[in-house]
Chain A
Amino acid sequence: MTEENRNGSSFYQVYEVFSKKSASASFQLQFSLLAPNEEMAMMMAQENFMRREKVVDIWVVRRDHIRGMNPEEREMWTNRLDNKEYRTTKGYGYLRRKWREKEQDMLDEKEILSWKEVKKG
């Protein structure tokens, strides 16, 4: 047994806590806490960070098990040129006018998401 373990120092493991507000929401990182194992981390998580908010699910992940970006990677790998209109609707704004000329509307987000409801046959 190492000196460290004699003092119980390895009790303090860092866990990152993720939670979901509703069934349709994504997991969000809340904060981190210390616990000796995942069972205890799970037990601590909700009352530490989500005392006042609705939670439907929680993940705890040991920080060592997360491969995050290091500062250099954040600096080097995350920049993107501002030349990608071709992959967004921004590049197709002119269609609105063209469809108007033909007395039709363009298929935009509002229109498409309204198709959730379909007339009953």
Chain B
Amino acid sequence: MYNFIEHVNGSEPEAVEDEAKYAQFMERIENGEKIEADDWMPEEYRQTLIKLISMHGISEIMGALPEKEWVPKAPTLYRKLGIMAKVQDEMGHGQLLLRVAEDLMAPYGRSREDLMMDLLSGDLKFHNVFHMETRTWADAGVIGWLVDGAAIISQTNMLDASYGPYQRALQRICAEEVFHAQHGEAIVMALAEGTPEQKAMLQEAVDRWWPSLLMFFGPGSAETTGSSKQEVTTKYKIRKSSNEELRQAFLDKYLPRVFSLGLTIPDDTLRYDEEKEQWEYEQPDWNEFKQIIKNNGPRSAERLRLRELAYENNRWVRRALSNEPVVQA
């Protein structure tokens, strides 16, 4: 899901590694074979996967937090149950993905604990959208429909990923995303067909989320922010398409639906170029994007604080059970 991959330290291409092994590895990848956790893999592949999947996983965990703000407030019993199940799934997706990342990190003696520490220290980044604030119930709808929609576009693109454990996790995740998409659609549909206040609330949320949605896919090219590593993920057949291709796919799928609900997009230059067969749009502020993912977004500090508190306040629990667990008779 997270397409903005920063430069990975210590993973210069295979100067010292066994060239024969590398050639054989690349042949497996080319043949569409799946790589497993204990297979030989080039350092660059492992590092790229760790970076990608730990970001993806921790973004799911952090992504639970903005929506969670609306869980207790959901306006009907059915919505309360639906959004609880949906946010639970996000935590569940985080669990699947972090397990995949943790197994990849195991050779370095690193674990879940290190990932949490990296998150809190700012070394492990999470997705730009989850640094943003939520203001109204319509945010729960827009997150479920459009933010998740963007995530679905990115994730389905990796359903054939060369790394077996990641690909299998994504299969499970994408199957659940169908429910998420409809959960989001249902909230949005009720607001779009509701009172003038409900419609206004929905439009305001769409306007506010628009730049974040464009940013979601990462910059179109490395020049924009100076450090996109998207070509590495395509070289190793982890994903198929570029950031811009994914953004275009998102606009293709969702804009007609947005317009069909009578909603507008806050960009006067937005239009579909029939000749190029792609959407023209105003670029979001990529400098702001860089600031956001450096944990300088509107709600970065508060969201991290929640994870920090969960970590700190439960230290005694981890300490209590970290030895041989007691098995109940």
Write the residues of chain A forming the contact surface with B, with a CB cutoff of 8 angstroms: 23-24, 26, 57, 67, 84, 86-89, 91-92, 95, 98-99, 102-104, 106-109, 112-113, 115-121
**Interface SS of B by simple majority:** helix
Residue B212, interface by CB 8 Å = no
Residues in chain B near residue A107, CB distance under 8 A: 149, 178, 181-182, 185
Residue-wise interface mask of B (150-161) relative to A, using a CB-CB cutoff of 8 A (1 in contact, 0 not): 001100110110
Some 30 contacts from A to B, beta carbons below 8 A apart, are: A24-B34, A24-B168, A26-B168, A57-B36, A89-B182, A91-B82, A92-B179, A92-B182, A92-B185, A92-B186, A95-B189, A98-B189, A98-B193, A102-B257, A106-B182, A109-B175, A112-B156, A112-B177, A113-B159, A115-B156, A115-B157, A115-B253, A116-B159, A116-B160, A118-B240, A118-B246, A118-B248, A118-B249, A121-B248, A121-B278
Query: How far is A87 from B152 in the complex, measured between Cα atoms in Å?
Result: 18
Write the residues of chain B forming the contact surface with A, with a CB cutoff of 8 angstroms: 33-34, 36, 78, 81-82, 85, 149, 152-153, 156-157, 159-160, 164, 167-168, 171, 174-175, 177-179, 181-183, 185-186, 189, 193, 240-242, 244-246, 248-249, 252-253, 256-257, 260-261, 277-278, 327
CB distance from A85 to the nearest CB of B (A): 9
Query: What 15 new A-B contacts, CB under 8 Å, besides A108-B182, A113-B174, A116-B157?
Result: A86-B82, A91-B82, A92-B185, A92-B186, A102-B260, A102-B261, A104-B256, A107-B182, A107-B185, A112-B177, A115-B253, A117-B240, A118-B157, A118-B249, A119-B252
CB distance from B119 to the nearest CB of A (A): 28
In the complex formed, the residue of A with least CB distance to B176 is: A87
Residues in chain B near residue A24, CB distance under 8 A: 34, 164, 167-168, 171
Residues in chain A near residue B33, CB distance under 8 A: 23
Contacts known (A24-B171, A87-B179, A106-B185); A121 close to B85, Cβ less than 8 A: no
